[in-house]
Structure 1
Amino acid sequence: MLKMEAEMKLDRWGYQVRTSSDACISAINSYYHQVLSYERKRAVILEAPKSDPECVLGNILAAHFLCSADPSRTPEFVNAAKSHLECATSYEKAVFEVIQYLISSDRDDDLAVQLHSKLLQEFPKDLLSLKRAQVLCFYMGRLDLFLGIVEQVLPINEHEDYIYGMLAFALLELGRMDDAEKAGKKGYELNKDDVWSQHALCHVYQYECRFKEAVEFMINCAQSWGSLSSFMYTHNWWHIALCYLEGHAAMTKVQDIYDERIWKELERSDATAPEVYLNAAGLLLRLFVRGAHDILKDRLNELANCVTDQAFWFLEWHFDILILWTLSCTGRFNEAEDLLKGLNSRVSMMSKTKQQQMHRGLTLAEALYRYGKGEYKEAVELLGHNFDAINYKIIGASDEQLDVFTEVHITLLLETGEASAAIQAIEKQLNKREGAPFLWYLLEKACLILGREEAASYGQKAKQLEAAYFT
């Protein structure tokens, strides 16, 4: 009994872990912090199995980290965990079961969510497993599922800061902006450095066209971003750049953020390039839709030169779609066609259910390829007149990231002489975001095409809104 007690440690959540190594449990707890705070030293989890090769939790968490960082090494850590599973605690066994299934090649996403829900019923303080559930549901386009899970464990975690950022993000993605703002503020009050609460609040302010408030809030938070992962650091600045862009601030502000806060991240020795490229491409597409070609050309070519490297392909659908546009827009048609063929090939190997789910992703991918080539008629035919980007969450993008595809669709309608259909699409967006000047400019353009008298008043509305944001 004394020996068994000596071999037991409690992790951050207070759950038992079979190890006699203080260094092992310290590495596990540090990993929890790194993931939940979106910091860049998540490789700290590899110290756990070094300190205790027999620790099941340390090994299986390392396996999950390596699944994206270095997949070839994943099996050795899964096997190490499995070989000592008999001696593991019930908590470790539950985490092992969930992660082993999560990283399996033939997993069913719905079952993976169910397994996470089951684990959290028994171990509700495990916020790392809750974060995994959030990420899983996000890439399924099903944050409604995640909301049920986070609300399930909220009562026992009501004083934990990280949970409120996760709650806020689920709420905002489901259109419950008031509730999302309350949850985000709660998380921010508990921990002003909780980046996911900061990020969720920015989402709310941006959606509600409170651009100046969003920028001031995020700039005030920026001093806490130095240790963030490449994705989270550049993504936060991406949000600020979009607020400047949507609020019609000086274009130099957007340009400076791209150059100094996004692209410059690549100069860091510990930068993760695909995470930078994702946010860079997302911002450049916004600029392209708005016709800011004077600051686009060199930057877009520089990005295209980087993403011709196939090592960056097939990491996630949203990124692949942005790469397709980047390549085709810069005349790299052979590479773009290879990427598109690769996406089709991958979908063909999926289950029938998954193929049906990803059909929209393929359609959007081809449409952005055509858009980049200037084949506007073909692109709009792929998307159809009733396109709504909100139905494409399966590509693993937030509502804010998806909005640009709605803007692309509207501009395609205008470019192909479908002004009446464009007006319907614009008005649908204005019902959600009446304070967005760009939408009023698009409405003005559509009405000018149709010779409608009210066009001038829409242009004036856009200018009035711009004057209220940044001067």
Structure 2
Amino acid sequence: MAEVRRDMWGQEYRTSSADCAAALDAYYAATMAFGRGRGAFVLRAAAADPTCVLAAALAAHFVSPRDPAAAAAYLAAAADNLVSFLVDGRRSVSLPRLPFSPPRFNLWAMFVRVQDNATDYERAVFRVHNAMVGDEKDEELAIERHFELLKEFPRDLIFMGLTTDQVLPENQDQNYIYGLLAFPLLELGKMDEAERAARKGLDINKDDVWSQHNLCHVFQQECHFREATEFMISCSPSWRDCTSFLFTHNWWHVAVCYLEAESPLCKVLEVYDQNIMKELERSDSEAAEVYLNALGLLLRLYVRGHIDSAKERLKMLVDPLKDEVIVSSMDKKRQQVMQKAIQLADAVYEYGKGEYKKVFDILGPDFDALGYKMIGASDEQVDVFNEVWYTVLINTGGHPKEKAYSLDGRRADASVASEKANALQAAYFR
């Protein structure tokens, strides 16, 4: 039987390979730092010991977005190695079948012994990933199993992204947890608490990139754009080994802050050209993650009237985006939820064509971008869709401009709303 080892949080798992154990440690460290090498590490762990349930389950999760077949193979390997059957003292990969019906006593048990190959922790990890990307694929079930795992293993920071309350008492010395705590506080509008959490993470480790990112959110919410850009640029040397997404996303924040502060356009474009798109030149970049932040910035430039600059750069993305294959691995429940996201994409497409009436018809009269958070974006990311909406209202004279000011659910007095809408229109065309 494989040796029982402990990961960096003390959870037990089995592997007979020192290389597998070292690769798992490297995977955890890279994940905690949002590092770009984490995928290679977990695949190396699974290759070093194909019988390690933990390595196989984690590898399944990593490959699932782009290669569901490989994910299924890794999960099958994990399932096969949860237990083994010993026949005459030798391991059998499958349950032996008797050529006859056994009598009342269990003849099968006389020569077959079931051996437990996995620890309780590995079983819990397998259950989570089987619900996330396996045969049981069910988002609600996966969340339920996440909570079950954290209840039993509260020091596991890899799985604590869904909740911090359960695990914070056990991990108060970990910068990672404060970065993850800050983000939901931001989304709940609790800026003071979010700032305290982010600064606590940075007190422990000044290079914690997620705490840096969340403190930038606080600065943006408070319209401290100069402070935000100066802070983020000072932090940027620590982003070099980040994933393509977080590296370009942090630079996206810098560019947006320049734009909001009405800095010269050249500063925004320099960030786009030299920091976001340059990431594609790295051999281990993830192109889809780069395009996500690039397109988000180009849409904002377009909406703000910098149409030529946006179009010029968008043309260079057309062919790569055609080649980008997106594989949907969502369960049916999730696909239903994401119908609104597809609707939003259709609206943005029509907006780019100047078909404002069609945009209005697609989104309806009560559109609010905050109702589209299922696309996995922060308030700062989705607010550009409200700007699209304001533009549509201004350009569709047959529809009430005061709708732009009813996004909070309150019906303003018509004359006041009209006055505000006129001010918005004047500001837009200044």
Question: With structure 2 as the length reference, what TM-score do the two structures score?
Answer: 0.84
Say which of 384, 397, 415 aligns to 1:404. 384
Contact 1:410–1:425 (CA under 8 A) maintained in structure 2:
no
Letter matched to residue 35 of structure 1? T
Q: Map 1:402-441; keep pairs closer than 5 Å.
A: 402-417=382-397, 418=399, 420-421=401-402, 423-424=404-405
| In 2, Cα distance between equivalents of 1:105 and 1:199 | 35
Distance change (3 Å), C-alpha of 1:448 and 1:40: closer
CA contact (8 A) 1:414 1:422 kept: no
In the alignment, the residues of structure 1 paired with residue 50 and residue 322 of structure 2 have an alpha-carbon distance, to the nearest angstrom, of: 40
Q: Go from structure 1 to structure 2 and tell me whether the alpha carbon gap of 1:314 and 1:399 turns closer, same or farther (over 3 Å shift).
A: farther
Is 1:7 the counterpart of 2:13? The answer is: no
The separation in 1 between residues aligned to 2:37 and 2:51, in whole angstroms, is 23
Mapped pair 1:391 → 2:391: no
**In structure 1, C-alpha distance between the alignment counterparts of 2:368 and 2:387, rounded to whole Å:** 10
**Cα separation, 2, equivalents of 1:357 and 1:56:** 32
- 2:60 matched to which residue of 1? 63
Deviations 1:170-228 (A, max 9, x none): 11111111111111111111111111111111111112211111111111110111111
Counterpart among 203, 215, 230 of residue 229 in structure 2: 215
Q: Is 1:111 aligned to 2:141, yes or no?
A: yes
Task: State how 1:58-457 maps to structure 2 within 5 Å.
Answer: 58-86=55-83, 87-104=117-134, 107-131=137-161, 146=162, 149-309=163-323, 311-313=324-326, 351=332, 354=334, 357-417=337-397, 418=399, 420-421=401-402, 423-424=404-405, 446-447=422-423
Q: Deviations over 1:235-274 (max 9, x none)?
A: 1000000000011111111000000001111111111111
**Residues in 2 aligned to 1:74 and 1:355: alpha-carbon distance in whole angstroms:** 20
Between Structure 1 and Structure 2, which shows a larger proportion of helix residues?
1
Following the alignment from structure 1 to structure 2, what is the Cα–Cα distance between the partners of residues 271 and 185? 29
Q: For 1:76 and 1:315, locate their aligned partners in 2 and report how far apart those are by CA, in whole Å.
A: 18
For the Cα contact (< 8 Å) 2:178–2:197, is it kept in 1? Answer: yes
Partner of 1:185, secondary structure, is: helix
* Structure 2 contact 366–403 (Cα < 8 Å) conserved: no
Look up the equivalent residue of 2:29 and give its one-letter code.
Answer: H
Q: CA deviation at 1:20?
A: 3.1
CA separation of 1:444 and 1:288: change in aligned 2, threshold 3 A: farther
Per the alignment, residue 339 of structure 1 pairs with none
Q: Matched residue of 1:280: which SS?
A: helix
Partners of 2:205 and 2:291 lie apart in 1 by 29
Specify whether residues 47 and 448 from structure 1 end up closer, same or farther in structure 2 by C-alpha distance, changes over 3 A only.
Answer: closer
State whether residues 419 and 446 of structure 1, in contact with CA within 8 Å, keep that contact through their aligned partners in structure 2.
Answer: no
Secondary structure in 2 aligned to 1:152? coil
Cα offset for 1:448? 7.7
| Stretch moving more, 156-165 or 65-74 | 65-74
CA distance in 1, matches of 2:72, 2:14: 21
Give the Cα separation in 2 of the matches to 1:94 and 1:106: 14
Cα offset, 1:49, TM superposition: 2.4
SS state at 1:68 partner: coil
- Does the 8 A contact of 2:150 with 2:156 survive in 1? yes
Amino acid in the other structure paired with 2:52 = C
Amino acid at match of 1:262: I
Larger Rg: 2
Q: Which amino acid aligns with 1:61?
A: L
AA partner of residue 151 (structure 1)? D
Alpha-carbon separation, structure 2, partners of 1:208 and 1:428: 23
Quickly say closer, same or farther: Cα 1:241–1:72, change in 2 above 3 A: same
| Aligned match of 1:333 | none
Report the Cα offset of residue 73 of structure 1.
Answer: 2.1
The whole-number CA distance in structure 2 between the counterparts of 1:386 and 1:240 is: 31
Conserved 8 A contact 1:286-1:404: yes
Amino acid at match of 2:33: S
Give the 5 Å matches for 1:41-52. 41-42=37-38, 43-52=40-49
1:416-448 CA deviation, whole Å, 9 max, x = no partner? 12463255158999xxxxxxxxxxxxx987338
Indicate conservation of the 8 Å contact 1:422/1:446, yes or no.
no
8 Å Cα contact 1:410/1:426 also seen in 2 = no
Deviation at 1:156, TM superposition (A): 0.8
Letter in 1 for 2:308: D
1:46: Cα distance to partner?
A: 1.4
Q: Does residue 38 of the first structure (1) align with residue 18 of the second (2)?
A: no
User: Corresponding residue for 2:51?
Assistant: 54
Mapped to 2, the partners of 1:207 and 1:111 lie a distance apart of 34
Name the aligned partner's letter for residue 9 of structure 1.
R
Task: Please state how far the C-alpha of 1:69 moved relative to its aligned partner.
Answer: 4.9
Alpha-carbon offset, residue 111 of structure 1 = 1.6
- What CA distance in whole angstroms lies between the structure 2 residues aligned with 1:233 and 1:192? 16
